[in-house]
Amino acid sequence: MQPVDFQDHRHDVRIGYAADFAGPLLDPERPPPAFIAGPNGKAAKKRYAVYRNNVTVSLINALAATFPATLRITGVDFFRAMARFHVRATPPTSPLLFEYGYDFPDFIERYEYAGSMPWLADVARIERAWLDAYHAADAAPLPPQALASIPPAHLADTILTPHPATRIVRSRYPAVTIFAANRVGGPVTPIEASEPEDALVTRPGMEVVVRRLPPGGAVFLTRLLAGEPLAAAAEAALTDDSEFDLSANIAGMIEAGVFNDIRGGG
């Protein structure tokens, strides 16, 4: 046994095998690397194909696990074909698969075969937000009585801090209704909704909850999440939608666990 020379290779950043092995993994047009073989001079085409298949199929499976409602809507074959294009074009850059798929909704929007389902990308956006909420840091949601502790004179300047799980997904389509109908098993029921729906995703405890935001709610909450005080956010919401109801919005959002903390102004 020769002694190992630890000095020699320390700064040799690139040793060829990984680059040459990795290149054809996601590109079926490229031949397998020349330096691999089976035993006794056997060929390695099918052998290398095992790795190709593992990579592609496991990443498609990862997307299927993150976007189950999207899959249920399109059917398995459609979804897997669409996901295969995405996996090859945009493989993950993080070893954490729950961080994969942020670009998938935009890909769906551009995917020509999904053109007849213009709401599909928004359903996928809700599913991506769902997984963010699932893995978000644990934090106690703001209790309902917290707002009552702020003196009325300071309410306008009050800042509400979002819970780490809180996400908003805006849609021009009834995306929340379609998401909710397809996120569960059982028979598919016809969807009657046609109004635009903005989704609120929260996780006050261990359960992720997706609900519809009331009129003006998305603008109101987006401003609050950006750190704007209550009065400014309410004004923006009223401008967006004259039906905006401040107290109903705040009550609903506190009940949903949107906020983590409150800071009175003044």
Partner 1 sequence: MNEMANIQLSRASVAPRFPAHPVAGMAGTSLKHDHLPSIMANGVERGFFEVHAENYMGAGGPPHDALTRIRRDYPVSLHGVCMSIGGPQPLDKTHLGRFKALVDRYEPALVSEHLAWSTHETTYFNDLLPLPYTQTTLARVAEHIDEVQEAIGRPILLENPSTYVLFLQSTMSETEFLRELVRHTGCGLLLDVNNVFVSATNHGYSALGYLGDFPLEHVGEIHLAGHAEQADDEGDLLLIDSHDGPVADAVWKLYDIVIGQCGPVPTLVEWDSEIPDWPILKAEAAAAQAILDRHAYRFMPGKAHAAG
Which residues contact partner 1 (rule: CB under 8 A)? 1-2, 4-6, 8-10, 12-15, 17-19, 21-22, 25-26, 35-40, 42-48, 50-51, 54-55, 58-59, 62, 91-98, 133-139, 164-165, 203, 206
Residue 53 CB, shortest distance to partner 1, in Å, is 9
CB of 46 to partner 1, least distance (A): 5
In the complex with partner 1, which residue's Cβ is closer, 68 or 92?
92
Q: Which is nearer to partner 1, 45 or 172 (CB)?
A: 45
**Residue 245 CB partners (closer than 8 Å, separation 6+):** 214, 215, 216
C-alpha torsion 54→109→172→189, nearest 10: -50
* Nearer Cβ to partner 1 (141/229): 141
Instruction: List the beta bridge partners of residue 263.
Output: 159
- How many whole angstroms separate alpha carbon 153 and alpha carbon 163? 25
Smallest gap from residue 28 Cβ to partner 1 (A): 15
Q: Give the SS3 label for residue 71.
A: helix
Q: Which amino acid is at 213?
A: L
Q: How far is the CB of 93 from partner 1 (least distance, A)?
A: 5
Q: Which of 1, 148 has the CB closer to partner 1?
A: 1
Own/partner long-range contacts of 95-100 (Cβ < 8 Å, ≥24 apart) = 97/62, 98/66, 98/131, 98/134, 98/135, 100/59, 100/62, 100/63, 100/66
CA gap 53, 45 in Å, rounded: 12
Minimum distance, C-beta of residue 114 to partner 1, in the bound complex (Å): 24
Closer to partner 1 by CB, 39 or 152: give it.
39
Q: Which is nearer to partner 1, 95 or 152 (CB)?
A: 95
Q: How far is the CB of 263 from partner 1 (least distance, A)?
A: 23
Q: What is the maximal distance between C-alpha atoms in the chain?
A: 85
The token duo for 64 is 């299927």
